[in-house]
Chain A
Amino acid sequence: MQRLLRDPQALITGGLLLLITFAGLLAPVLSQHDPNQASLEAVNVAMGSPGHPIGGDANGRDIFARLLASINTAAISAIICSSIALVLGTVGGLIGGYFDKFRNASEWAFTLIMTFPGLLVLILLTPITRGDFRFTMAMFGVLLSPSIYRIVRNLTVAVSRELYVDAAKVSGLTNFRILARHVLSVVRGPIIVAAAFMFGSAISVQSGLAFLGLGSKETPSFGAMIAEGFRNFYISPLQYLWPALALGVINGALVLFGNALRDVLEGARPKPAPIVSKAAVDAARFDGLKPSGAALVDVRDLGVAYRMSQDEQKEVVRGVSFSVEPGETLGLVGESGSGKTQTAFAILGVLPAEAIVTRGSIVLDGNQVIGAKEREMRVLRGASVAYIPQEPMSNLDPVYTVGSQLVEGMRASTSESRGAAKARALDLLRRVGIADPERTFRSYPHQISGGMAQRVLIAGAIASKPRLLIADEPTTALDVTVQAEILDLLRDLQAEFGMGLLLVTHNFGVVADICDRVAVMRQGELVEIGNVEEIFSSPQHEYTKSLLDSILDEETVRKDPPVATVAGRAS
């Protein structure tokens, strides 16, 4: 609530809306005439005439009084419509989302409501509403309820699957209390935002219908006033202006208020910051002039940060330096949050838009990566460096076949024809251990298993014969039996192609299996780096020691008290 008050957009528009609403409520006090009272001397009278601050309309009624009364009509329309939509949609969504057995019925009911052709229905059912706008708005509320239903249902389904709801059930909370407490609190935000936009819709629709002349003549509304003003345009153009302006302002304020509400309640999207600070680019350029030897990639003093708020940023990679030689495997080890994946992304140039590279230099295959343009990076990606992601399924485009994605990746780095690329892709699939390459080539990602998907991604990475391969926890998402096979595959491929391999992992078993050297990261810093044998036999840093100690071993029974690690856990 306080955040809402601090947001200028919300404050201004919200305040304006409150002001307008109060003006409407105070109508009898503020205006001297009844909105429907017609008097001959007030016909088309100009602005500023005594007793008629904004003039009189073609029927001799006071425009100011009518404007204020129209505000009330609009407010009532909005409230009736939104309440019905909210109550119907929320109850339906809660029940349909939470109780599986009712879901079919609720889906049917709301799909049925959605099939009524909107505005048309409101017009066609005039015979039974007899022009009473409140009845019409109630019907509109019913027609709008499916959109609320969908929001509530989706959120309820998502929440009901969360583990804490199972916990609540187990501890004996009734369904009603679970719904009320957990689900409603999540659903509150989006509903409030939806309500704000519905207010706008209701007012617009009611105005539209009144404009058409479907409402009762007794009810003053913006729509009716606009219609009259339109008819009178040549005689007195201002009569059209005031209601139009009022409607526009109210509508606009509601939309802007809704947007501000949404930003506050659902969180604004992170604003992208420039990837690299100028100082870093200059320093890096200078650094890149120094020959870096034969190393495939030479990372020096890399710093990557994210903006936390207007003034502060948090560094997630703090001055990391290492290099990878051709033919060697370097393991980059650390717990979650240690910054190892961010480092990998920095090398590839695929950090998210909000990341800022604060310092350092990355020389990849003789090219400086920090500050490099996308064009230059594209040349490097595929041929100089390639990436195997951690989660196989989410890293394949679901709407294209596996084969077409492979071919596309290959043709981005080489100039092969489609036929040649396809033949090579099938070869690669065979090489990475897929039993039926043809079938896999034709399959969609959702039709293959996780292990196969990981092999496909490996095939995609090595397709353009990269000099450096970055594998990001390539076995974490897989079954134990498959893990060993994948590691063997990587080792063979490395030997065959002479690649350098940067293996990001939190698993020391994997490190012991295939790495030559190891770099240990904690909270963004590199705490130790060296040969695998040395690190395992005589770790120098406290953190490395505690990591190695915490590897569970069947023979060892833990005797030490449960102290996690050296002070300052990465979180």
Chain B
Amino acid sequence: MLLTVRKISRSFGGFELKNVSFDVQQGQYFVLLGASGVGKSVLLEIIAGLTHPDDGRIFLNGTNITSEKIQKRKIGMVFQSYTLFPHMKVYDNIAYPLRTGYTKHQIPKRVAKLAEDFGVTGLLKRKPQTLSGGESQRVSLARAVASEPRCLLLDEPISSLDAKSRPRMRALLRKINAKGQTIIHVTHDYIEAASLGTHIAVMEGGTIAQTGTVDDIFQHPKSEFIARFIGIRNFFKGNLEKPHLQAGLKQFRTDGLAFSVLTDSHAGNGFVCIRNEDVIIHNPSSTAEPTIAGNNFEGTIVDIVRFGPGIEVIINIGTNNLKTQKTANVNPLEIAALITAESAKALNLHCGKKVCISFKASSVKYVEE
């Protein structure tokens, strides 16, 4: 294990970190995902030695570094505000960590190589104040990598960049990680986390709510907060009933509707989430026959919005009768479906149109409360 964080606690200015523990292995791209103000940045500062914890311990390669001086830790940090030295040119910023460990002749070569790797060769003679956000971030990364850290900490490295610079920065971060650099990346953006991380720790209320691989987190969110935070749009609270359908299939009731759910969980209160890409839309005239294991509903389109590269269609299934679920209710219940623009056109979708939706029982994730 490269980095072990054990029961770190720190209270300050109205919020606190409570018993934060996680492990990071060599070469992992570990993302700390959480809302603003949850203490992610402070946790990074504690790992880097910039802030001391009230309690807990940090181990790097098995050595307790909780009280180790910042300059002895060999942990690089890229701050959200870049923290480039304003009185030094880009060259001197990148060369700063090289003054120890490299000879005078080696430094220019090393800076040139780093500048090339990070796409800042043309900026070496410029002052940080003249750089754009993306350029400053790349210089800051180059400088941190120049210090050859055992672990590289990144505090929201992408969120402050403009949309044009983001893909380049993501590609750069993947490249650094692919070379074996262990990275801990703090972000509030679940898309950023999913697109970069090999492992994710979701922070909630000053503690780690769930840790796992990207698939673990996105396929099996442990709580309502995590499900919502990682962008699952279709989220319904309700009650899981005792099985009376096929083996493993159970009924989940919410707001008068009932979903078929494939789960081993016991009956009780909980919530279900359905990813919007698992919801299929078809016209009512479609010949597709619903199955007993499936979830098939009729509804009315209430909104159509662009969602990343696709189209998200919001359908109210609460005010319509059901094809297979016989529960009658008139409460509005909206469900989001993600489809391609071509499908939206082919289906001739528009607000107010009646459509049918379906999703498999196995795509409904049930989480006990």
Q: Are both chains from one complex? A: no
Binding site for B on A (CB under 8 A): none
Binding site for A on B (CB under 8 A): none
